Chain A
Amino acid sequence: MNIKELIKNQLVYFDGGMGTLLQERGLQPGELPETWNILHPEIITDIHRSYFEAGANIIKTNTFGANHLKFDNLEEIITKAVENANKAREGFKNAYIALDIGPIGKMLKPLGDLDFEKAVEIFAETVKIGSKLNVDLILIETMNDSYETKAAVLATKEISDLPIFVTTVYDENAKLMTGANPKCMVAILEGLGVDALGLNCSLGPEQMKKIVPMLTKEASIPVIVNPNAGLPRSENGKTVYDVDADEFSDIMVEIAESGARILGGCCGTTPEFIRKTIEKTKYLKPKPIVPKNTTLVSSYTHAVEIGPSPILIGERINPTGKSKFKEALRQNNMDYILNEGIAQQEKGVQILDVNVGLPEIDEVEMIKSAVFELQSVIDLPLQIDTVDIEAMEQSMRLYNGKPLVNSVNGKEKNMKEVFPLIKKYGGTLIALTIDEDGIPETVEGRMKIAEKIIKTAAEYGIDKKDIVVDPLAMTISSDTNSANITLETVKRLSDMGIKTSLGVSNISFGLPNREFVTSTFFAMALQNGLNCAIMNPYSQEMMKVYYCFNALTNRDDNCTDYINFCSTVVTQTVTTTSATGTKLESNDDEPLKKAIIKGLKEQAAAITAEMLKTISPLDLIDTQIIPALDIVGKGFEEKTVFLPQLLMSAEASKSSFDVVKASMASNGEASKGRIILATVKGDIHDIGKNIVKVLLENYGYEVIDLGKDVPPELVCETAIKEEINLVGLSALMTTTVPSMEETIKQLREKRPQCKVVVGGAVLTQEYADMIGADYYAKDAMETVRYAEHFFGIE
């Protein structure tokens, strides 16, 4: 019987720990357990057999750390491991072998230096070898990171059709070390189509008991529970685990009763633990595994459920009609996109739409870097919004979570392209009611397309719950009946239990005071059952509708959210008052200078706006902003002002600059010079470089920020392409100074006129001389001074 068949009807048992048993048999600290597959095959086989004898159905091959980073003889290690396991199962019925895959032992970017695709490759090597051999399933286990888990599952799916089981490591707070909660992991793993999921390691059964219901409540597939034997402690010089086999198996009964389907053990557990667990649970009637009808999307920390309450999808990361945004895209200005994301999160959206399509840019590369950067700093789920199938696939692949994908439509060709992506990478899909014949003008016509999409999705194995229908809001300025059609379609879909979404802003296109129409339409759509709205969270009218609707429909306990929202409305009034307050202060001598020196961001902006009524922008910069910055800069050099104060002043002057810029008719004010900044290859910490960037920008230089871990080639290419003559390089570790040296060497060859200033925690004048830098700057101000000197004499 296939393992998937076996789980359907009964409780199934994994084996327990391997490491502790190997140590008892002489494995030395620091010795790699996998080498014993070759050195002591009889011991490995013996341990496996003892688990089958105890009644386990599935044993894990001794391949936890088997990847090609750790083993040159990977094929031999895995082949022997599977041989040993097969030898052990001779004579047993319903005895299965799981190819065991543990974490790589390196952190993925952005937290570490391992590329996502490189991680996929490493797992693929192991799976390629193991899946050819006689194993029944693949177990991906002890995963601390949702992203690495996704890499492992994808690698497996791309090579093998074997069932995939996945267990991750939760802490006492029911979170992975990298942040994901159980619901989030269910969303990601079910999206990827694994066959069973659960938890192992780190905790004992008592602590896991509390987490298991969080998984069984959400999961539509079997849940695996492989606890440790509690935590190790020392007793009379001997190591013991604090949970014995009796206590362990007692708690495993409760765990089985709460719905876990596959039981086993991890560190510290032995065949005795498994035997006792089986004895106590084998007569239990397994709790049925009920498919859950919840529509989930997720980031790498949490899942958002579409259905119970309206979901706001922030629409602002989209170039349509935004010249500044278009400019940012053309210049690859990720900071602009990140700030747009953060600002919307602060406004309260639950999902961020990401649309970076412009005819003149490479959308595939752009959406990949936008998704990567956004998920580096923002923990909201993303809606991948593109019509370019390649861009859709690449960004879904790279995404750390289960995305919302915008969109599919009723055209045969489109469905054929999009559905396989959802099946492969996981995702919830927005389905537009449009097909080869256009957008139907009737409710029936739109319903028909929705039904066709759902039916076709099912043929690909995609559940109805993962389709969210967008019945399309069209402006009432060209057809005054269009809102009626859309609203009625929302209602009909909602009555059928189909989830819905709308890009609500379209409804008012071409009309004056669009917010009035859009927000009223939004309220009507919510009343008709709308689940998601792609909307502008900066619109107070829209947010008002959202909070009022939740309060009025009993979705806001004690009206807390509504009251909090109102308090932000009040604050806005207060801000106006305080702006008036600063007006009084403007009688002071040089209030702007003072505000910048003191680092008062809001005040600096307010005073700037006030002063611009009587003084020209350029005068203001020359007589107020620059002198203030100089005072602070000199203070820093004389050690009377410290770094935080310097940066506070920098932020204040920036907010003042922003007001000045906005007031100037032409935006094209020339920069004092253009500089490349980069943290060198291998270095993943770029705090110092960012400080330099802020100050240089403050002093009027244009900075091309190449980020961290930057290969020498990219620095050279950019310097040539952008005709740059000054490059700043930063390194934090002694181990990365050689790549700084390499960068300088390549620059000397390819762009000899370029000067290089270096800095960073490990750098000294001696190092700088040794690697041939032009200048060593010991802090950010020194870099500014060098830039002034450089551009002054150039």
Chain B
Amino acid sequence: MIYSYSLNSQEVNITKKEVYRYLGYGRVYPSDEVTALIDECVNEFNKYVNYRACYAKVDISVDEQNEIINFGFMQVKSHSLTINLRGCESAYIFAATTGAMAERLIMKHNKLSALKGIVTDAIGSASIEDFCNLLNKMLADLSSQNNKFLRPRFSCGYGDFPLEFQPQILEFLDTSRKICLNITDNLMMTPVKSVTAVVGISDFPTKCRTGCVSCQKTDCEYRN
């Protein structure tokens, strides 16, 4: 069964630090002019954003030897996902989006002003991560009632979990119907500011590295 989850803009506090990071500010703090512009763009973004997600819980089996994970509706051969899901017997699969109207806003600015375009785009990227964090927290709370723990979320396109699984995940979650999330022939999700992920459910807490330190792309310009 597929469940829905949605939040309004007041419930998602967009992490400004992340916006700065997406704009290329590493450890430097942006100027007053730039922070003022970001604030203005966040306020506008909040009028358009429509956070929606859907998720399902599935039984999984992890064949560690062959590095194959069976989700029922898909079978994934992946080294990095095997490590992530080692020891899990079930997992959440979710898809989340900031909605078509936020996408239109980014598109509009992008057409008319490259400056507001990149700022709003960065806000969109930060906001979908913040939304996913809140969704994750809700799922973690749900799991903790049954003494279960969640692994860090893992998306296709990370490590060697191929992007080609994206259409199957969207189809399985019925995202077109449920949250108006679709995919192009070239596997780009539309709206672009969307995320799908697998979250392993485990009997014991795991110390997992998350965020930039867990990523192998050490030359990434956005790395913290």
- Chain A residues at the B interface, C-beta cutoff of 8 Å: 28-30, 102-103, 105-107, 110-113, 142, 144-145, 169, 171, 177-179, 201-202, 231-234, 239, 335, 338-339, 342, 376-378, 598-599, 642-645, 647-648, 650-651, 682-687, 690-691, 693-694, 732-736
B residues in contact with A732, CB < 8 Å: 188
Instruction: State which of B99, B115, B172 has its C-beta within 8 Å of the C-beta of A177.
Output: B99
A178-B101, A376-B107, A645-B34 as given contacts; A733 in contact with B186, CB under 8 Å? yes
Q: Can you list 11 A-B pairs, Cβ within 8 angstroms, ordered by A? A: A30-B73, A107-B180, A112-B182, A171-B50, A179-B100, A339-B112, A377-B107, A377-B111, A642-B30, A647-B114, A733-B188
Q: How far is the CB of A622 from chain B (nearest CB, A)?
A: 25
Q: Which of B20-28, B76-84, B130-138, B203-211 contacts A (4 or more CB under 8 A)?
A: B20-28
State A734–B156 Cα separation when bound (angstroms): 13
Verify A648–B33 contact, CB threshold 8 A.
yes
State A338–B112 Cα separation when bound (angstroms): 8
Taking CB as reference atom, which chain B residue is nearest A686?
B110
Verify A598–B33 contact, CB threshold 8 A.
yes
State A691–B74 Cα separation when bound (angstroms): 39
A105-B182, A644-B30, A648-B34 as given contacts; A177 in contact with B188, CB under 8 Å? no
State A642–B28 Cα separation when bound (angstroms): 9
Q: Within 8 Å of chain A (Cβ to Cβ): is B163?
A: yes
State A149–B126 Cα separation when bound (angstroms): 32
A residues in contact with B121, CB < 8 Å: 687
Verify A650–B114 contact, CB threshold 8 A.
yes
Verify B184–A691 contact, CB threshold 8 A.
no
Q: Within 8 Å of chain A (Cβ to Cβ): is B212?
A: no
B residues in contact with A644, CB < 8 Å: 23, 30, 34, 37, 115, 118-119
B residues in contact with A30, CB < 8 Å: 72-74, 168, 171-172
Verify B23–A642 contact, CB threshold 8 A.
yes
Interface centre among A112, A231, A338, A732, by most chain B C-beta atoms within 10 angstroms, is A112
Q: How far is the CB of B126 from chain A (nearest CB, A)?
A: 14
Known: A29-B172, A107-B182, A645-B33. 13 other contacts (CB 8 A): A107-B184, A113-B186, A144-B176, A145-B180, A201-B177, A231-B4, A377-B104, A644-B115, A644-B119, A683-B188, A693-B114, A732-B188, A733-B186
Q: How far is the CB of B144 from chain A (nearest CB, A)?
A: 15
Q: Within 8 Å of chain A (Cβ to Cβ): is B129?
A: no
Main secondary structure of the interface of B (DSSP, over half): mixed
Verify B1–A239 contact, CB threshold 8 A.
yes
Q: Within 8 Å of chain A (Cβ to Cβ): is B117?
A: yes
Counting chain B residues whose Cβ lies within 8 A of the other chain, the interface size class is 35 or more
Instruction: State which of B31, B58, B100, B163 has its C-beta within 8 Å of the C-beta of A178.
Output: B100
Instruction: State which of B118, B186, B192 has its C-beta within 8 Å of the C-beta of A643.
Output: B118
Instruction: State which of B24, B117, B177 has its C-beta within 8 Å of the C-beta of A690.
Output: B117
Verify A685–B187 contact, CB threshold 8 A.
no
State A694–B33 Cα separation when bound (angstroms): 20
Verify A179–B101 contact, CB threshold 8 A.
yes
Q: Within 8 Å of chain A (Cβ to Cβ): is B2?
A: yes
State A339–B111 Cα separation when bound (angstroms): 10
A residues in contact with B73, CB < 8 Å: 28-30
Q: How far is the CB of B147 from chain A (nearest CB, A)?
A: 15
A residues in contact with B72, CB < 8 Å: 28-30
Q: How far is the CB of A275 from chain B (nearest CB, A)?
A: 24
Q: Within 8 Å of chain A (Cβ to Cβ): is B18?
A: no
Verify A177–B50 contact, CB threshold 8 A.
yes
State A683–B184 Cα separation when bound (angstroms): 9
A178-B100, A650-B114 as given contacts; A643 in contact with B180, CB under 8 Å? no
A residues in contact with B23, CB < 8 Å: 642-644
State A474–B163 Cα separation when bound (angstroms): 63
Interface residues of B in 148-180 (CB under 8 A from A): 163, 168, 171-172, 176-180
- Chain B residues at the A interface, C-beta cutoff of 8 Å: 1-4, 6, 23-25, 28, 30-31, 33-34, 37, 50, 52, 56, 58, 72-74, 99-101, 103-104, 107-108, 110-115, 117-119, 121, 163, 168, 171-172, 176-180, 182-188, 190-192
State A72–B107 Cα separation when bound (angstroms): 35
Taking CB as reference atom, which chain A residue is nearest B170?
A105
A residues in contact with B24, CB < 8 Å: 642-643
B residues in contact with A642, CB < 8 Å: 23-25, 28, 30, 34
Verify A102–B177 contact, CB threshold 8 A.
yes
Q: How far is the CB of B153 from chain A (nearest CB, A)?
A: 20
State A106–B24 Cα separation when bound (angstroms): 33
Q: How far is the CB of A734 from chain B (nearest CB, A)?
A: 7
Taking CB as reference atom, which chain A residue is nearest B4?
A231
State A648–B114 Cα separation when bound (angstroms): 9
State A380–B107 Cα separation when bound (angstroms): 16
A residues in contact with B119, CB < 8 Å: 644
B residues in contact with A105, CB < 8 Å: 176, 182
Q: How far is the CB of B148 from chain A (nearest CB, A)?
A: 13
A residues in contact with B182, CB < 8 Å: 105-107, 112
B residues in contact with A178, CB < 8 Å: 100-101, 180
State A113–B186 Cα separation when bound (angstroms): 9
Verify B184–A106 contact, CB threshold 8 A.
yes
B residues in contact with A735, CB < 8 Å: 163, 186-188
Verify B190–A684 contact, CB threshold 8 A.
yes
Verify A113–B163 contact, CB threshold 8 A.
no
State A179–B186 Cα separation when bound (angstroms): 25
A residues in contact with B33, CB < 8 Å: 598-599, 645, 648
State A693–B121 Cα separation when bound (angstroms): 17
Taking CB as reference atom, which chain A residue is nearest B188?
A733
State A686–B185 Cα separation when bound (angstroms): 17
Instruction: State which of B37, B114, B179 has its C-beta within 8 Å of the C-beta of A694.
Output: B114
A233-B3, A376-B107, A642-B28 as given contacts; A142 in contact with B114, CB under 8 Å? no
State A693–B163 Cα separation when bound (angstroms): 30
State A614–B23 Cα separation when bound (angstroms): 39
Verify A338–B100 contact, CB threshold 8 A.
no
Q: How far is the CB of A201 from chain B (nearest CB, A)?
A: 7
Verify B1–A234 contact, CB threshold 8 A.
yes
Instruction: State which of B31, B113, B118, B190 has its C-beta within 8 Å of the C-beta of A112.
Output: B190
Q: How far is the CB of A743 from chain B (nearest CB, A)?
A: 14
B residues in contact with A377, CB < 8 Å: 104, 107-108, 111-112
A142-B177, A171-B50, A647-B118 as given contacts; A376 in contact with B191, CB under 8 Å? no
Q: How far is the CB of B213 from chain A (nearest CB, A)?
A: 21
Q: How far is the CB of A89 from chain B (nearest CB, A)?
A: 27
Verify B118–A691 contact, CB threshold 8 A.
yes
State A232–B50 Cα separation when bound (angstroms): 20
Taking CB as reference atom, which chain A residue is nearest B109?
A377
Verify A177–B186 contact, CB threshold 8 A.
no
State A116–B210 Cα separation when bound (angstroms): 42
Q: How far is the CB of A379 from chain B (nearest CB, A)?
A: 8
Taking CB as reference atom, which chain A residue is nearest B117?
A687
State A102–B182 Cα separation when bound (angstroms): 14
Q: How far is the CB of A130 from chain B (nearest CB, A)?
A: 20
A110-B107, A682-B186 as given contacts; A687 in contact with B118, CB under 8 Å? yes
Instruction: State which of B113, B177, B184 has its C-beta within 8 Å of the C-beta of A113.
Output: B184
Verify A733–B187 contact, CB threshold 8 A.
yes
A178-B180, A643-B23 as given contacts; A111 in contact with B115, CB under 8 Å? no
Verify A682–B100 contact, CB threshold 8 A.
no
State A239–B57 Cα separation when bound (angstroms): 11
Q: How far is the CB of B174 from chain A (nearest CB, A)?
A: 9
Verify B180–A690 contact, CB threshold 8 A.
no
State A335–B183 Cα separation when bound (angstroms): 28
